[in-house]
Amino acid sequence: MFPAALIQSKTLRSLNVLFQHEMRHTDPILAQAASYHFNNPGKSFRAHLALSSGAALGLNGTDNLHWAAACELLHNASLIHDDISDASTHRRGQESIHEHFGSDMALCLGDWMVAKAFELAARNNQYGGALAGLLSQTMQDTCSGQIFDISQRQCAKLNEWERIVKGKTVPLLVAPIKGAVLAAGFSDHLDGLGIFGGLETLVSLCGLAYQGCNDIDDIIPSSHRSCDMEGRKPNLVISLFAKQGVGRVEFNSWYQSDDNSHLFHWQRRIACSDVILKANQIVDHWIVQAAEQVNELPAKLQPVAYSLVESVKPKKTINLEGWSA
């Protein structure tokens, strides 16, 4: 999470008020599904990025709030559509939209969020067109990452895992900051200095670290069922075990099957293997690399970049689990 000095809880409440206001102007049934989805809004990570970036750059409150909401809605739309593609039954501790309301409602709600995101971005009188264009490119990049994800039929190699994460996760982490820079009128100056390239490098590294931590948490503790392993989804730890874990030949054979009866067996074996330590070392390396990029950014963006790096650091130490066959 970002420091209170950067993101005021009052501002985040304003984001929720904005969502509630916008939902009142749509179909009541669709609004009901949207309210259900936002019962647990998650971390609002992308909104945090947009709001802190806009505040640091002096963007006016209304435009800042609209851009943050646009980024958060586009992200949530991708989650709703992903759950249909992955046949995921739960999201954020409750039934997913398609499980609770049906796939038709999930498609409509996701589409509504995409449309509303573009509308909110376009409300910026001076930079609305450019912000809409940024959202469009972000959505296209995310879709390309999703296609590569769902086309995977075997356990992803490490370079393939990185490509998927950079395609699916990074675009929606870069856009909030880049859009705030654009809306604050700094785009031409920073682009000429090549700042956006450094920004995308930093955010890409943070995106890899962020997803890597999530992947570790999916495997550990093994007392909960691994969603990634069950759905054969790309996971950093699984990729490492498939490449160098003891028993990898048998694991790869099982992984390529549709059999989940041995899922807990393999999850426990992975959870107590040295690939957990290896995954943490890789995540730490990405975080160090990202931190080194902070000083390359303009002074106004450095606090935002520093907070981003801090936010993706593992919050706890993960110990190897004891296991016996």
Evaluate whether residue 312 is within a structural domain: yes
Is pLDDT of 323 > 60? no
Selection from 25, 19, 58 nearest residue 39 by Cα: 19
Looking at the fold, whether 101 and 12 belong to one and the same domain comes out as yes
CB 108 within 8 A of CB 114: no
- Same domain flag for 230 and 106: no
**What are the backbone angles phi and psi of residue 307, rounded to the nearest 5°?**
-65, -35
Q: At residue 132, does pLDDT exceed 80?
A: yes
Inform me whether the pLDDT recorded for 96 exceeds 70.
Answer: yes
Residue 160 domain-assigned (yes or no): no
In a domain, 162, yes or no: no
pLDDT band at 324 (very low <50, low <70, confident <90, very high): very low
Note whether residue 179 is domain-resident: no
Q: Do 146 and 212 share a domain, yes or no?
A: no
Q: What is the pLDDT of residue 10?
A: 67
Which pLDDT does position 4 carry in this prediction? 42
Q: Is residue 183 part of a domain?
A: no
- What is the pLDDT averaged over residues 241-253? 95
The mean pLDDT value for 92-102 works out to 92
Whether 204 and 138 share a structural domain? no
The pLDDT of 62-77, averaged and rounded, is 96
Nearest to 201 by CA among 232, 170, 172, 241: 170
The Cα angle at residue 72 between residues 58 and 188, in degrees rounded to 5: 40
What's the average model confidence in pLDDT over 25-46? 88
> What percentage of residues in the chain have a pLDDT greater than 90?
58
Same domain for 10 and 128: yes
Q: Is residue 283 pLDDT above 60, yes or no? A: yes
pLDDT digits (tens, 9 = 90+) for 192-240: 445 667 888 999 999 999 999 999 999 998 778 898 888 888 999 999 9
Residue 15 sits in the same domain as residue 147? yes
* CA torsion angle 17 22 24 30 (round to 10): -120
Alpha-carbon gap, residue 88 to 96, rounded angstroms: 7
Assign 3-class secondary structure to 85-116.
HHCCCEECCEECHHHHCCHHHHHHHHHHHHHH
Higher pLDDT residue, 207 or 152? Answer: 207
**Same domain as 143, residue 6:** yes
Token pair in block for residue 44: 């609002």
Query: Looking at 129, 153, 177, which one is the last position of a domain?
Result: 153
Q: b/e for 260-281, b at 16 or more Cβ within 10 A? A: eeeeeebbbbbbbbebbebbbe
Q: Which domain holds residue 267?
A: 193-325
| Distance between start and end Cα atoms, the chain | 39
Q: What is the pLDDT of residue 189?
A: 56
Length of the chain: 325
Query: Are 112 and 8 within one domain?
Result: yes
176 in a domain, yes or no?
A: no
Q: In the listed set 128, 153, 178, which residue is the last one of a domain according to the structure?
A: 153
Verify that 112 and 247 share a domain, yes or no.
no
pLDDT over threshold 60, residue 317: no
Q: Is residue 200 located within the same domain as residue 300? A: yes
Give the start-end residues of each E strand in 217-291: none
Cα–Cα distances (Å) from 191 to 69, 87, 97, 172, 182, in that order, read: 24, 41, 40, 19, 10
DSSP per residue, 212-233: HHHHHHHHSSTTS--HHHHHT-
Task: Return the pLDDT at 103.
Answer: 95
Confidence band for 145, pLDDT divided at 50, 70 and 90: confident
Residue 147, pLDDT score: 85
Secondary structure of 40-62 as H, E, C letters = CCCCCHHHHHHHHHHHHHCCCHH
Structure tokens at 36: 């259900």
Count structural domains, the chain: 2
**CATH number of residue 235's parent domain:** 1.10.600.10
Tokens matching residue 165: 């994460």
Mark whether 104 and 38 lie in a shared domain.
yes
Domain for residue 226, yes or no? yes
How far apart CA 286 and CA 210 sit, in angstroms, is 10
Residue 188 inside a domain? The answer is: no
- Exposure of 276 in the CB half-sphere (CA atoms within 13 A): 20
Residues 223 and 116 in one domain: no
Q: Is the pTM of this model over 0.75?
A: yes
For residue 271, pLDDT over 70 is answered with yes
Instruction: State percent of the chain over pLDDT 70.
Output: 90
**Position 6 pLDDT exceeds 50:** no
Average pLDDT (171-177) is: 92
